[in-house]
């Protein structure tokens, strides 16, 4: 029996016939409900409120398990929600056989923020091809951060089914994947955009309140603006405010997100600390908050109501600029030293040399071995033949040719051609007369060697060979070889020297430009133009990351420009380059969260100091050990081994200090935010971190970084709110 609850047409759903019974589903019949009283017409049909994946997901009725995904809508504006839905369609047979819930892995989402949405507590149903499927739905809200086409990778599903209906039956694992999806994100149109539009997208309403309706001149009042609506609440921008009767300083931000509904909604509150400068009945004017409404596709403006504030008389504190001008300013470094050299403990050559130091001691510790005789040179056979006064032709030719090759580098091939031999000898610096003399002597020895007869004047040929080689040795270019190889070596050396000189000249020119830029920064600081001073020093450190003087001055200028984050970064980078710089260390103690002392953020001990101590102990220990082995002094060995161990410990300390000073895992917070318990904006927020606080980065996931602060706080922050302190990395 159907009961009419409202005026209008009521559709009665058809009755489904049991599976296997022939028949047709009757069409719904509209029934007119008579009016009892004047009222608005009711809708003609109850809308289908089931998730889109239930009705639009791809289902193959021949399969017992279907896995499908949809993204609605497929085209959105940047900052508008896309609902990503995954549906698991299980037939009645599979639903009865499943022993455990299927497991699925959603795709990794990039360039988009995501929030998990609630899924239906009970499975829904869908009829397809005469079969009934139970549908289990998972939903996630996605917010594109950039315009363009975003591709979602396929999701993966894993489930297990028993091979039979018995209790102890083995299970067989199956897997399925969805198709990849594309989302197109568009920028809000430029036409009709308000001049004060800051990028908010959604349906938004704003309200404002003050913590007290009455105050006095100089007493701060907290103004809170609450921005509520649907959309990417966590990225709603801060409203702009201008108060002609007071000073407003940005305060905290609080975000509350409700992802328990189909469209993510929530509230983001912005605080200002307002200090009245005059008394009377004042008014906080209505604040404008322009936004793009993606559902009406037009720009709209939300307004707050004006707030009345009664301000009584009082003493007004000095303006910050006046207080700063009256107090003595921090001094700047006036000389520029350029890039500081890296610690010599980081040199691979040093470690290679230290690795070779133990070899003498180790060699002395081994059993003595017979010494090998000194290798004879190629000239010695000819000298022995000359001393003996006689030789066979073959012995004389071999000795004479080997001596020429060793002294001049002229090969045996050139010796077979008289003219080529003379030219080759001339290129080594030998005179024409001596070259021709050597060629004639070689020809005479060849005739004696290959002519089949003995040497009738052996003593004469041996003496002539010795005299000829003596002349060659006196005239040839020192170092042997010569020829084209030596010429190429000289040319390469000249080119290398020229390149080095050119590089030194270019580096000197760059240093001169940086020094001039450094002086301009100091001059701008002296006249109170802190932003210009920061710009000059920032240009230097962008090109020369190891310029400690520029980093120190950048931090000082940023401190007076009320840029706490840049001040902390500049001073931290300068102190890590110069751990003994007392001027920078004292200023860093004024920044939030900096730990001083030996076990603080930057230990006041240079890397080279620990390395030098380690090198001395290492060298002294191994030298003493070698001496004790040589002199058979066992009483010295224990002290030598202790020195070697101390050198190794000092080396390990130098390595640890170098890692700490390098700052590769150290970061500074550049935007205040609250720590999250997980890498998601919807995760639970814990303690708040301040701008300028230093932390250790312990992990990363997507656009999130896990950080640990000196007081033990640990959590996740967006990477864009952090800046690295790595000393060799350009800012």
| 270-325: pLDDT as tens digits | 999 999 988 899 999 999 999 999 999 999 999 999 999 998 876 555 555 544 45
Could you tell me if residue 690 is inside a domain? Answer: yes
DSSP-based three-state secondary structure for 649: helix
How many domains, in total, are found in the chain?
7
| Whole-number Å distance between alpha carbons of 526 and 516 | 16
Residues 163 and 65 reside in one and the same domain: yes
Residue 24 has pLDDT above 90, yes or no: no
Dihedral (Cα; 513, 517, 519, 522), 10-degree rounding: -160
pLDDT, position 490: 58
Q: Which of 111-120, 372-381, 518-527 has the lowest mean pLDDT?
A: 372-381
Residues 499 and 540 reside in one and the same domain: yes
pLDDT, position 564: 84
Residues 173 and 210 reside in one and the same domain: no
Q: Which residues contact 564 (CB under 8 A, 6 or more apart)?
A: 558, 591, 592, 691, 692
pLDDT, position 12: 30
Residue 19 has pLDDT above 60, yes or no: no
**Hey, what are 8's tokens?**
């209008």
Residues 681 and 725 reside in one and the same domain: yes
122: domain CATH number? Answer: 2.60.40
**Hey, what are 663's tokens?**
């700052």
- The DSSP bridge pattern shows strands 112-117 and 131-144 to be antiparallel
pLDDT, position 27: 37
502: domain CATH number? Answer: 1.25.40.10
Q: Where are the beta strands (DSSP E) in 554-693?
A: 666-669, 673-676, 685-689
Most confident of 228-232, 377-381, 694-698: 228-232
Residues 6 and 106 reside in one and the same domain: no
Could you tell me if residue 193 is inside a domain? Answer: no
Q: Give the other-Cβ count within 10 Å of 496's Cβ.
A: 10
Give counts: helices (H), strands (E), the chain. Answer: 18, 29
Q: Which of 255-264, 493-502, 550-559 has the lowest mean pLDDT?
A: 493-502
pLDDT, position 655: 80
Residues 75 and 121 reside in one and the same domain: yes
What is the reported pTM? Answer: 0.45
Strand partners, 298: 293
Could you tell me if residue 430 is inside a domain? Answer: yes
Over residues 664-683, mean pLDDT: 83
Which among 368, 371, 350, 354 has a CA at the least distance from the CA of 623? Answer: 354
Residues 556 and 631 reside in one and the same domain: no
> Within 13 A of 38's CA, how many CA atoms are on the CB side?
0
Residues 59 and 160 reside in one and the same domain: yes
For residue 377, what pLDDT band results from cuts at 50, 70 and 90? low
**Hey, what are 623's tokens?**
């030298």
Could you tell me if residue 440 is inside a domain? Answer: yes
For residue 483, what pLDDT band results from cuts at 50, 70 and 90? very low
Last residue of a domain, one of 640, 662, 684: 662
Query: Who has greater pLDDT, 708 or 634?
Result: 708
Residues 214 and 302 reside in one and the same domain: yes
Q: Which residues contact 459 (CB under 8 A, 6 or more apart)?
A: 389, 390
Cα distances from 18 to residues 27, 335, 397, 573, 673, in angstroms, run: 17, 93, 114, 77, 60
pLDDT, position 107: 84
Residues 502 and 430 reside in one and the same domain: no
Could you tell me if residue 373 is inside a domain? Answer: no
Could you tell me if residue 370 is inside a domain? Answer: no
Residue 179 has pLDDT above 60, yes or no: yes
* pLDDT tens-digit readout, 533-575: 899 998 998 888 888 898 999 989 988 888 888 888 888 888 8
- Token look-up 């009345």 returns 308
Which among 547, 596, 589, 583 has a CA at the least distance from the CA of 568? Answer: 589
Residue 446 has pLDDT above 90, yes or no: no
Residue range(s) defining the domain that contains residue 151 = 52-186
Residue 78 has pLDDT above 50, yes or no: yes
Residues 107 and 172 reside in one and the same domain: yes
Residue % of the chain over a pLDDT of 90: 18
For residue 122, whether the previous peptide bond is cis, meaning omega lies within 30 degrees of 0, is: no
Residue % of the chain over a pLDDT of 70: 82
Last residue of a domain, one of 127, 152, 186: 186
Last residue of a domain, one of 186, 214, 235: 186
| Whole-number Å distance between alpha carbons of 267 and 236 | 9
Residues 266 and 305 reside in one and the same domain: yes
Could you tell me if residue 729 is inside a domain? Answer: yes
Query: What radius of gyration, in Å, describes the C-alpha atoms of the chain?
Result: 44
303: domain CATH number? Answer: 2.60.40.740
Query: Who has greater pLDDT, 671 or 58?
Result: 58
Could you tell me if residue 599 is inside a domain? Answer: no
Residue 461 has pLDDT above 80, yes or no: no
| Whole-number Å distance between alpha carbons of 172 and 170 | 7
Encode 56-80: b = buried (16+ Cβ within 10 Å), e = exposed: ebebeeeebbbbbbbbeeeebbbbb
Over residues 699-719, mean pLDDT: 87
730: domain CATH number? Answer: 2.30.30.40
Query: Who has greater pLDDT, 346 or 536?
Result: 536
């Amino acid at each position: 029996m159907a009961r009419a609850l409202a005026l209008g047409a009521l559709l009665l759903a058809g009755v489904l016939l049991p599976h296997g019974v022939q028949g047709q589903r009757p069409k719904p019949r509209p029934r007119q409900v008579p009016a009892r009283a004047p009222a608005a017409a009711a809708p003609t049909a109850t809308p289908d409120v089931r998730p889109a994946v239930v009705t639009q997901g791809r289902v193959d009725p021949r399969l017992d398990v279907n896995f499908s995904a949809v993204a609605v809508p497929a085209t959105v504006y940047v900052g508008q929600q896309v609902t990503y839905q995954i549906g698991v369609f299980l037939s009645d047979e599979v639903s009865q056989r499943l022993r455990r819930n299927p497991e699925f892995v959603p795709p990794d989402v990039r360039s988009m923020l995501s929030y998990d949405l609630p899924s239906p507590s009970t499975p829904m149903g869908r009829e397809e091809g005469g079969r009934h499927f139970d549908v289990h739905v998972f939903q996630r809200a996605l917010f594109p951060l950039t315009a363009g086409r975003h591709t979602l990778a396929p999701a993966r599903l894993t489930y297990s089914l028993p091979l039979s209906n018995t209790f102890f039956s083995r299970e067989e694992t199956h897997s399925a994947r969805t198709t990849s999806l594309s989302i197109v994100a568009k920028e809000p149109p430029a036409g009709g955009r308000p001049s004060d539009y800051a990028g908010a997208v959604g349906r938004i309403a704003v309200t404002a309140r003050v913590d007290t309706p009455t105050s006095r001149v100089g007493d701060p009042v907290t103004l809170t603006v609450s921005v509520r609506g649907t959309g990417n609440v966590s990225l709603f921008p801060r409203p702009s405010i201008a108060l002609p009767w007071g000073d407003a300083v940005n305060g905290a931000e609080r975000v509350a997100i409700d992802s328990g509904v189909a469209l993510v909604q929530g509230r983001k509150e912005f605080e200002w600390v307002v200090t009245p400068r005059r008394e009377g009945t004042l008014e906080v004017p209505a604040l404008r908050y322009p936004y793009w409404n993606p559902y009406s596709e037009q720009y709209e403006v939300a307004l707050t109501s004006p707030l009345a504030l009664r301000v009584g008389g009082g003493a007004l504190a000095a303006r910050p600029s006046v207080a700063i001008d009256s107090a003595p300013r921090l001094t700047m470094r006036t000389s520029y030293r350029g890039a500081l050299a890296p610690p010599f403990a980081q040199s691979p050559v040093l470690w290679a040399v230290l690795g070779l130091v133990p070899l003498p001691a180790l060699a002395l510790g081994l059993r003595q071995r017979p010494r090998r005789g000194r290798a004879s040179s190629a000239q010695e056979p000819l000298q022995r033949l000359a001393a003996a006064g006689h030789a066979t032709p073959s012995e004389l030719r071999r000795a004479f040719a080997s001596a020429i090759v060793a002294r001049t580098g002229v090969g045996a091939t050139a010796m077979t051609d008289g003219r080529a031999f003379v030219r080759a000898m001339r290129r080594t610096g030998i005179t024409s007369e001596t070259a021709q003399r050597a060629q004639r002597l070689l020809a005479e020895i060849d005739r004696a060697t290959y002519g089949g007869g003995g040497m009738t004047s052996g003593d004469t040929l041996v003496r002539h060979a010795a005299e000829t080689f003596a002349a060659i040795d006196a005239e040839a270019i020192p170092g042997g070889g010569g020829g084209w190889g030596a010429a190429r070596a000289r040319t390469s050396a000249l080119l290398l020297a020229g390149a080095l000189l050119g590089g030194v000249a270019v580096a000197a020119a760059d240093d001169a430009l940086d020094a001039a830029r450094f002086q301009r920064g100091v001059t701008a600081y002296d006249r109170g133009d802190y932003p210009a001073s920061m710009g000059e020093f920032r240009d230097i450190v962008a090109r020369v990351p190891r310029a400690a003087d520029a980093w120190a001055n950048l931090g000082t200028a940023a401190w007076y420009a009320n840029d706490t984050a840049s001040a902390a970064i500049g001073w931290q980078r300068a102190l890590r380059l110069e751990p003994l710089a007392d001027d920078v260390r004292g200023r860093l103690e004024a920044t939030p969260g900096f730990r001083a002392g030996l076990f603080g953020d930057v230990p006041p001990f240079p890397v080279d100091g620990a390395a030098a101590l380690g090198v001395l102990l290492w060298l002294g220990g191994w030298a003493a050990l070698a001496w004790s082995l040589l002199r058979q002094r066992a009483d010295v060995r224990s002290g030598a081994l202790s020195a070697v161990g101390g050198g190794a410990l000092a080396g390990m300390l130098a390595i640890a200090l170098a890692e700490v000073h390098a700052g590769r895992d150290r970061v500074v917070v550049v935007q205040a935010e609250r720590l999250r318990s997980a890498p998601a904006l919807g995760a639970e927020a814990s303690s708040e971190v301040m701008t300028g606080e230093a932390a250790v980065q312990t992990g990363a996931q997507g656009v999130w970084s896990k950080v640990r602060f000196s007081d033990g706080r640990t959590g996740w922050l967006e990477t864009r709110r952090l800046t690295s302190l790595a000393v060799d990395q350009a800012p």
